[in-house]
Amino acid sequence: MFGFWFSIAGLFFGTVCSLMAKEKGRDQKNWFILGFTGSIFSYILLSNLSSLTSSDLSLSEEKEEFCAEVY
């Protein structure tokens, strides 16, 4: 019976974290998995993270290109 309630809570928090991650510009699949396994702790962590902006994404792409050129 415990496994049933754990699964229900995992699906709930996984879905909530996935939707919140989409709004903040973060990866939905990873946050669903974190929400499923970490439940309320993942939700609290995600709610405290800032949103990613397009300038943040372009900076990370530039870093990846630089690293690819170095190696």
Confidence of residue 63 (pLDDT cuts 50, 70, 90): low
Contacts of residue 16, Cβ cutoff 8 Å, sequence gap at least 6: 35, 43
Domain boundaries, the chain: 2-70
- Looking from the CA of 58 toward its CB, the CA atoms found within 13 Å total 3
Higher pLDDT among residues 55 and 46, named by residue: 46
pLDDT digits (tens, 9 = 90+) for 13-36: 999 999 999 999 899 999 999 999
Q: Which of 36, 37, 29, 31 is nearest to 49 (CA)?
A: 31
Contact between residue 18 and residue 32 where contact means Cβ atoms under 8 Å apart: yes
By mean pLDDT, which of 5-19, 26-40, 47-61 is the weakest?
47-61
